[in-house]
């Protein structure tokens, strides 16, 4: 029998339902409606406009026909190399917040707990930004989420050191991991957050991550996303961010490995005078696919958004940037900028870029630019003519291309980690 589209989703659902994790925070009604949504819509394939270059259904058909959910338990020794020295390290294993592996530190205004431990009033916040009736991957996550992470900074607190959340998956054969986090930054609070993604198991992982982030009035959230999941990983990472009046949100995503990495970074600028900065850098080789989708939704006046995404695609890899900017009717005096720059290192590599601006206000400044090309041969010759060998010259030029993004990482040990992997991948 030829497998139909919906059968692929159904097969996945059946297998996941056999040993679905039990969580308290997700109401049964939500789980049931999420499954219904999935059954109806299916996991998106390339006929879906937003997944034109990222056929998740095909990935599931090819790589995850059977899902065993053979999760590994992890120890401190497994986690130690993933930690960052200057940060408080928190650990989420196969979708579940692991208190035992996390560093305990009493910091004024900081609350860290698992989603199961949420109070009734906190539970209400969940799923308010990541709605399972809007997106198949969010629905999949809602239906099968583990006991993820809740992180809250109370009003007015400045956290003196970075928080580092290590999301690590590990299985001994095919696993599907649904990880969820909720980050709440209270008014006038300020924190730097690193979210790192790893797969240290021997099995293939389909990792479906959903994070809701709320940045309160006059608050500042500086995020770094570090993705180094390796060749056995296929991941979709959805960030649903809502920022408020006078707040500042920034994120820099560094994608250094992963067979398929799809990032959906959606930011709602919900009130006036706030700013969002999204940056990304990837280097891909082999048959890797890196797909960055951003959505910036300017709803209110006097806000600013900046996006800078750069990629280097080697071998037969595929890089995609799709950046959508909405400027709503009320969002007068918006400044929105977007730039995507890419270098193709081989004839077989592919870059897709698609800026989309939808502007409904009349007094705004918006611009977008995109460029894709090969390495600058004039510059290469100039370096060689000074005695610098071909390989060093290429490296110098590619590092120069990436430097402005690497410079955005303000945490030295993370910057070193990125630089090391970046140089290795060149």
Partner 1 sequence: MISIKNLHASIGDKEILRGINLEVKAGEVHAIMGPNGSGKSTLSSVLAGREDYNVTEGEVTFNGKNLLELSPEDRAREGLFLAFQYPVEIPGVSNVNFLRTAVNEIRKYHGQEEMPAKDFLALVKEKSKLVELDAKLASRSVNEGFSGGEKKRNEIFQMAMLNPKLAILDETDSGLDIDALRIVATGVNKLKSKDNATIVITHYQRLLDYIVPDFVHILYKGRIVKSGGKELALEMEAKGYDEIKAQFERIES
Interface with partner 1: number of residues (CB under 8 A): 22
Q: What is the CA radius of gyration of the chain?
A: 21
Contact (Cβ atoms closer than 8 angstroms) between residue 36 and residue 10: no
**Lookup result for tokens 């930004």:** 129
Nearer to partner 1, 104 or 386 (CB): 386
Cβ of residue 410: shortest distance to partner 1, in angstroms?
Answer: 19
* Positions 401 through 420 that interact with partner 1 (CB under 8 A): 401, 403-404
Nearer to partner 1, 158 or 379 (CB): 379
* Phi/psi-derived region of residue 189, left when phi > 0, alpha when psi is between -120 and 50, beta in every other case: beta
H/E element, 409: none
- Select from 99, 108, 382, 424 the one that contacts partner 1 (CB under 8 A): 382
Which strand ranges, in their side-by-side order, compose the sheet holding 304-313?
96-97, 88-93, 163-169, 190-199, 220-228, 248-257, 275-284, 304-313, 335-344, 365-373
Site string for partner 1, 329-368 (x = CB under 8 A): ----------------------------------------
Number of C-alpha atoms within 13 angstroms, CB side, residue 337? 8
- Span near partner 1 by CB under 8 A; candidates 23-31, 58-66, 142-150, 385-393: 385-393
Q: Could you say whether residue 400 binds partner 1 (CB under 8 A)?
A: yes
Contact (Cβ atoms closer than 8 angstroms) between residue 187 and residue 155: yes
CA distances from 1 to 4, 11, 58, 240 (A): 9, 14, 17, 39
Contact (Cβ atoms closer than 8 angstroms) between residue 219 and residue 186: yes
Cβ of residue 253: shortest distance to partner 1, in angstroms?
Answer: 20
Nearer to partner 1, 185 or 281 (CB): 281
Cβ of residue 339: shortest distance to partner 1, in angstroms?
Answer: 14
Spatial distance between the Cα atoms of 169 and 95, rounded to a whole number of angstroms? 8
Site string for partner 1, 63-102 (x = CB under 8 A): ----------------------------------------
Cβ of residue 387: shortest distance to partner 1, in angstroms?
Answer: 4
Cβ of residue 385: shortest distance to partner 1, in angstroms?
Answer: 5
- Select from 397, 409, 414, 418 the one that contacts partner 1 (CB under 8 A): 397
Spatial distance between the Cα atoms of 364 and 381, rounded to a whole number of angstroms? 42
Nearer to partner 1, 303 or 402 (CB): 402
Which strand ranges, in their side-by-side order, compose the sheet holding 233-243?
110-114, 149-153, 175-185, 205-215, 233-243, 260-269, 289-298, 318-327, 350-359
Three-class secondary structure of residue 181 per DSSP: strand
Q: Could you say whether residue 383 binds partner 1 (CB under 8 A)?
A: yes
CB atoms within 10 A of CB 379: 13
- Span near partner 1 by CB under 8 A; candidates 67-75, 281-289, 342-350, 380-388: 380-388
- Select from 24, 62, 392, 424 the one that contacts partner 1 (CB under 8 A): 392
- Select from 32, 124, 231, 379 the one that contacts partner 1 (CB under 8 A): 379
Q: Which residues bind partner 1 (CB under 8 A)?
A: 376, 378-379, 381-390, 392-393, 396-397, 399-401, 403-404
């Amino acid at each position: 029998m030829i497998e139909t589209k919906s059968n692929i989703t159904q097969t996945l659902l059946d297998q996941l339902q056999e040993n679905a994790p039990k969580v308290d925070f997700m109401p049964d009604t939500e789980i049931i409606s999420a499954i219904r949504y999935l059954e109806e819509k299916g996991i998106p394939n390339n006929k879906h406009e937003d997944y034109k270059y990222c056929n998740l259904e095909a990935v599931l058909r090819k790589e995850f026909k059977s899902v065993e959910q053979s999760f590994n338990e992890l120890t401190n020794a497994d986690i130690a190399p993933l930690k960052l020295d200057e940060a408080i390290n928190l650990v989420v294993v196969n979708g579940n917040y692991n208190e035992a592996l996390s560093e305990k530190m009493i910091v004024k205004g900081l609350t860290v707990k698992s989603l199961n431990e949420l109070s009734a009033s906190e539970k209400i916040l969940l799923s308010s930004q990541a709605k399972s009736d809007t997106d198949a991957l969010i629905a999949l996550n809602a239906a099968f989420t583990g006991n993820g992470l809740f992180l809250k900074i109370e009003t007015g607190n400045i956290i003196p050191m970075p928080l580092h959340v290590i999301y690590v998956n590990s299985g001994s054969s095919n696993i599907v991991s649904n990880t969820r986090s909720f980050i709440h930054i209270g008014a006038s609070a300020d924190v730097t957050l690193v979210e790192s993604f790893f797969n240290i198991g021997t099995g293939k992982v389909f990792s479906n991550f959903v994070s809701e982030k709320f940045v309160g009035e006059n608050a500042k959230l500086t995020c770094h996303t570090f993705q180094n999941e390796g060749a056995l990983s296929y991941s979709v990472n959805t960030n649903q961010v809502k920022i408020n009046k006078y707040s500042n949100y920034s994120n820099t995503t560094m994608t250094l490995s992963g067979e398929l990495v799809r990032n959906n970074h959606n930011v709602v600028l919900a009130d006036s005078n706030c700013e969002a900065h999204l940056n990304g850098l990837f280097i891909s080789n082999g048959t890797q696919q890196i797909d960055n989708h951003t959505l910036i939704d300017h709803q209110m006046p006097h806000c600013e958004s900046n996006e800078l995404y750069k990629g280097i695609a080697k071998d037969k890899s595929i890089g995609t940037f799709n950046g959508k900017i909405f400027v709503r009717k009320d969002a007068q005096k918006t400044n929105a900028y977007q730039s995507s720059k890419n270098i193709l290192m081989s004839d077989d590599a592919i870059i897709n870029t698609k800026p989309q601006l939808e502007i409904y206000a009349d007094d705004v400044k918006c611009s977008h630019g995109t460029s894709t090309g090969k390495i600058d041969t004039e510059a290469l010759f100039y370096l060689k003519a000074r005695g610098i060998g071909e390989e060093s010259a290429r490296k110098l030029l590619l590092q120069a291309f990436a430097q402005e993004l690497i410079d955005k990482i303000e945490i030295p040990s993370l910057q070193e980690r990125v630089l090391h992997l970046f140089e290795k991948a060149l």
